[in-house]
Amino acid sequence: MEIFMMGKYSAHVWSSFGITAVVLIICVLQARRRHRIVLSDLRVRIKAMESEQ
């Protein structure tokens, strides 16, 4: 286990890496979610346009 102990700054090192991972994951999820929202809005809009004609 000793290898994981980063000396007295282990909290700092692991928190930084942890925050980085969290931010990257948030970016990925955010991009996916936004894409899904735009797709569903488009589907609704095109259906509305289709039924209108």
Partner 1 sequence: MWSFLHKLASPPHFYGISARMIPWFYAAGLLAVAYGSVAGLFYAPADEEMNDGFRIIYVHVPAAFISMSAYMVMAIGAGIGLIWRMKLAHAVAAGAAPLGAWFTFLALITGSIWGRPMWGTWWEWGDPRLTSELLLLFLYFGYMALRAAIDDTAKADKASAVLALVGAVNIPIIHFSVEWWTSLHQGSTLLKSGGPAMHPDMLYPLLAMILGFALLFAALLLARVRTEVLHRERRTRWVRDLIMPAGEAA
How many helices and strands (H and E) does the chain possess?
Answer: 1, 0
Q: Which parts of 18-37 interact with partner 1 (CB under 8 A)?
A: 19-20, 23-24, 26-28, 30-32, 34-35
**2 contributes a contact to partner 1 by CB under 8 A:** no
Distance CA 18, CA 42 (A): 36
Q: C-beta of 49: minimal distance to partner 1 in Å?
A: 8
Best CA proximity match to 19, nearest among 27, 9, 7, 8: 27
Both structure tokens of 42: 């488009």
**13 contributes a contact to partner 1 by CB under 8 A:** yes
Q: Compute and round to an integer the Cα radius of gyration of the chain.
A: 22
- Footprint of partner 1 (CB under 8 A): 3, 6-10, 12-13, 15-17, 19-20, 23-24, 26-28, 30-32, 34-35, 38-39, 42-43, 45-47, 50-51
